[in-house]
Amino acid sequence: MESIQAYLDRKHEELRLLNDCLRHRLDVPRPQSVDEVVRSKFQLTAALRAEHELHEWKATETAWSHTSAPVSGPFAFSYDYQRADLSVRGPSFYELDRGCTSTALYTASGMAAISAVLLASAQIVEKADILVLPGSYGETLELIRSLVPHLRLVALSLPLGDAFAAANSPRILLLDSCSFAGAFEAALGHDGSGLDLLVFDTTCFTGRAGRIRRVLRWARRNGIPVVLVRSHNKLDSLGAEYGRLGSAVFVHGNEHRRRERRPDWTRLAAETRNAVRLLGGAALPAHFPPFVGSAVYWVLTKRRVAAILRNGRSTARCFTAKLPALSGELHFAHGLYVTLRGKRPLDEASARQAAEDMSNELREEGFPIRHAGSFGFDFAATEWFHDATTDQYSVRVAVPDLPSELWDDLAAAIARWWRAYQLAGDGG
């Protein structure tokens, strides 16, 4: 277990990493509380963005100045009007196995990345099935249903059976890091040689997570072309949501095993780049976090996520014991959040209100918890949650990077509040 003092020392290292990226460093003493950690981290990242804008004043949307050479930490950029031809030089957010090469395209958000990939696939195939696992990200499924008519959404259930078998039409697997743990593991235990393309949303895994490399090895064994899509303003930003940034990374090396097969996915990177241009979804240089890439960054990120995962496992045990009938999904593949369900079905409005009320009341008791629609923070975050495959609503509790003892107390308080809330609802 990590003590509060060891935790604050570790957070001071994170703050120093951010502060060292500033040209004019701020006076940031060692934090004395979780609230000080959160406040200092968001202040520093705001200062970094502001300093970037002041220093890179020539790098405008119209690219009027031929003397501008915009950078953000280890990243360097070149582009013409509206960043339609944005070129990025800098460290990878992933750690790929030796022998793997890749092409990275950066976008204005994670949804911009996956939207461009799926829309660009229409230039490769006239029709295809896209297979999705239980727990896949709701907005991605909404996107496919609403705006990508050439892809037929196929919602899978366990056991998978012959779901990955070859069919008359091309088959694309959308593997999502926010899928249920059992479904994610089942997919990797199956023969995938009948699949034509793997689109892997890695957002909920750290870029150097072993599970990403495991998926890539599974795809290589099965000869499946791979695109990694990602939102970077969560786990890649040390819990501060530095800026809206997404990417689509095309991993090369499996294509030669598919020469006799059609479609020709080797064109997908070029078609996706064109889709990003036409949709106006190119990334903003100011949103590339300047603190990534160093050995210190990777060590601190690994320690942060390890703490969140430990807390996530203890949360599942706590809610299983204290809320056996009121727990929703406790075992997502990523381990970063869990869900709570009501005795009666929740809708979006009631789930949102419950999340806000719980956060407000527990925060008044002195706990580091907020009503916020994301995850990977230094505070617990609650929000409504919609399972697009079942159309059911629940309350999501995003597990924070906190000392074990403090988080165990907060998890118990959440269980107590949720149980009392449900009992009060019965009485009303």
| Angle, CA of 424, 425 and 428, to the nearest 5° | 85
Domains of the chain from N-terminus onward = 4-55 (no CATH), 71-287 (3.40.640.10), 296-427 (3.90.1150)
- Interatomic CA distance for residues 428 and 330, integer angstroms: 28
Q: What is the rounded CA–CA span in Å between residue 69 and residue 67?
A: 6
Contacts of 287 (CB under 8 A, 6+ apart): 108, 233, 242, 243, 244, 245
Query: Rounded to an integer, what distance in angstroms lies between the CA atom of residue 78 and that of residue 94?
Result: 22
Give the helix ranges, DSSP H, for 336-391.
348-364
Q: What is the pLDDT of residue 428?
A: 37
Give percent helix, percent strand, percent coil of the chain, each to the nearest 5: 40, 20, 40
Please write the tens of the pLDDT for every residue from 60-80. 888 787 777 889 999 999 998
Q: State which amino acid sits at residue 31.
A: P
Separation CA 105–CA 118 (nearest Å): 14
CA dist., res. 373 & res. 138, Å (int): 14
**By percentage, how much of the chain surpasses pLDDT 70?**
97
What's the chain's average pLDDT? 94
% of the chain at pLDDT higher than 90: 87
pLDDT for the residue numbered 255: 65
340 touches 358 (CB < 8 A): no
Given a contact cutoff of 8 angstroms between Cβ atoms, the answer to whether 378 and 11 are in contact is: yes
Indicate the burial class of 411 (C-beta count within 10 angstroms; 0-12, 13-18, 19 or more). buried
pLDDT confidence band for 260 (50 / 70 / 90) = low
At 92-123, the pLDDT tens digits run: 999 988 878 999 999 999 999 999 999 999 99
CB 275 within 8 A of CB 116: yes
Q: CA-to-CA distance for 339 and 347, rounded, in angstroms?
A: 14
Reference 312, options 343, 291, 333; nearest CA is 333
- Residue 219 pLDDT exceeds 70: yes
Distance of alpha carbon 266 from alpha carbon 64, whole angstroms? 34
Distant-in-sequence, close-in-space partners of 266: CB < 8 Å, separation ≥ 6: 225, 255
